[in-house]
Structure 1
């Protein structure tokens, strides 16, 4: 099977591994990009067994030359999962490409994005894209119930809840979480400073709560932080002196390095901050910890995929939906702060996740195969 790759994020090292684009170091250091997108892309490629892939840029209009090349070299369209189901989604020329190619479309783990669970009414053009996909797929794989309900409300009914490919990236049906005998001690916390109104009802409160939790964790655990795209954090990771000075001034101006928790945060940034440059690198990093928590879904799920107990924070529909789909612990910040770290990550809280993981692994495998594509699962 040969794939036309749509909404690709980064570049492929081979058919089953992706990293960020080959760019000058200055761009890596100074530009923001969301490494969660790379993780989903990489995870999708790991699950799907295909012989060749061709990148299809749907931001470009259909041309006869590219159309004939894709038709001659591809058997299906592979759309990686992401937060595509919302009112502002720009599909470029995807509808024209779908109609012109008329190939099967495999969609794995797409989701609705909103600051809270509410009715999302998609614009007509977006509904036409989803209908064109639905017409060319036995079913569309969504990450959870909210996404399924949203597509159903917008007239798309051949839907299947499969979760996110990032949880299955280890290709291990017999995955067993490793719980530290005396409770979690070494902990990694994923930062998320960039947040808008589609992720949180109150972005300022979101950031203040996150800082408070980090400061408390630093008192009770051997804490490390991971960053996932923001240039200020990358300046600290790469220890570029002038960039660090500029980043420090910016973080002070934004109130991130404040008078209450600023000293703790600066110390962690200078000594214990890891930058996730490639999904495969994060697999190696995450496996060294007793627990993974924080505000990056694609830091928690990949950690769980390598056997590390992970906890999600309830701050948007995506985190709540994935926790519900996989039965992973999820807490509001207030709920988390009322517990000890050991209580929040108690092994029994993962019993249902552990018991149902093989069934959910099989469901993802069966979904892909039902769409006519073999898997590596």
Structure 2
């Protein structure tokens, strides 16, 4: 089967691996891009067994030559999972491409995005896109109940909850989490300064809480930080002197390096900060830790996928939904701070996740194959 790749995030090294687009180092250092998107893209490519992949840029208008090219070289359209289901989503010319190509559409792990669970009524164009997809897909794979309810409310009913492909990127049905005796000691915490009102009700409080948790973890654990796209953090990781100076000034001005935790944070930035440049890099980084925590879903899920116990924080619908789908521990910051690290990551907290993992793995495999595409699972 040959795939037309839509909403591709990065460039493929081969059919089953992706990294960020090839660009000058200056752009890598100075531009923001969300490495979570690359992780989902890479994970999707790992799960699907396709013979050829051809890029379909839906931001470009439909042309007769483009339709001929895709129709002659592709058997289906593959849309990677992401936060597509919300009121502000821009689809470019996707509806025109769907209708012109009239190919089956494989959709894995798409989700609704909001700062809290609430009814989302999609605009007319969004409903048209999802109806066109639904007409060409035996079943649409969503990441959880909230996303399924949202699409159902908007008239789309051929849905199945499959979670996120990043959970299965290890292609290991027998995955077993490795719990450190006596609780975790070496811990990686994923940063998220980039946040808006679609991710948190109160972005300022979101940042204050995150810094407080980092400071407390530094007292009880051998703590490292990971960053996932913000330029200021990348300046520290790459040790670029002028960029570090400018980044530090900005972080002070914005209150991230404040009088309370600023010195601690800067010390961690200078010596214990890892930048996730490619999903495959994180597969090597994560297994060195006893636990993965933080505010990046696509730092916690890929860590779990390689056997590292991971905990999510409840700050938006996406994190809550994925924790519920996979039965992973999720805490409000207040609930997390009321317990010890060993209690928060106790093996029994992962009991349902562990006991149901093989079943959920099989469900994802069966879902892909129900859509007429082979899987590598």
TM-score class, shorter-chain normalisation, is over 0.9
d(CA) in 2 for partners of 1:50 and 1:144?
26
- Aligned with 2:288: secondary structure? coil
- Displacement of 1:161 in angstroms is 0.2
1:129-159 Cα distance to aligned partner (Å, 9 max, x none): 0000000001100000000000000000000
d(CA) in 2 for partners of 1:126 and 1:203?
27
Paired residue for 1:62? 62
1:198-223 Cα distance to aligned partner (Å, 9 max, x none): 00000000000000000000010000
d(CA) in 1 for partners of 2:135 and 2:319?
29
Aligned length: 377
Pairs within 5 Å for 1:341-356: 341-356=341-356
Paired residue for 1:227? 227
Paired residue for 2:365? 365
- Does 2:195 match 1:195? yes
1:65-106 Cα distance to aligned partner (Å, 9 max, x none): 111000000000000000000000000000000000000000
d(CA) in 2 for partners of 1:62 and 1:11?
22
Paired residue for 1:205? 205
d(CA) in 1 for partners of 2:361 and 2:237?
35
Two-structure CA RMSD over aligned residues (Å)? 0.3
Give unmatched runs, 5+ long, in structure 1: none
Paired residue for 2:316? 316
d(CA) in 2 for partners of 1:339 and 1:82?
32
Paired residue for 1:119? 119
TM-score of the aligned structures, taking structure 1 as reference length: 1.00
Paired residue for 1:327? 327
Give unmatched runs, 5+ long, in structure 2: none
Paired residue for 2:32? 32
- Displacement of 1:182 in angstroms is 1.9
- Displacement of 1:359 in angstroms is 0.2
- Aligned with 2:167: secondary structure? helix
- Does 2:53 match 1:53? yes
Paired residue for 2:297? 297
- Does 2:210 match 1:177? no
- Displacement of 1:317 in angstroms is 0.1
Paired residue for 2:105? 105
Paired residue for 1:136? 136
Report runs of 4+ in structure 1 exceeding 2 Å deviation. Answer: none
d(CA) in 2 for partners of 1:264 and 1:327?
33
- Aligned with 1:255: secondary structure? coil
TM-score of the aligned structures, taking structure 2 as reference length: 1.00
- Aligned with 1:287: secondary structure? helix
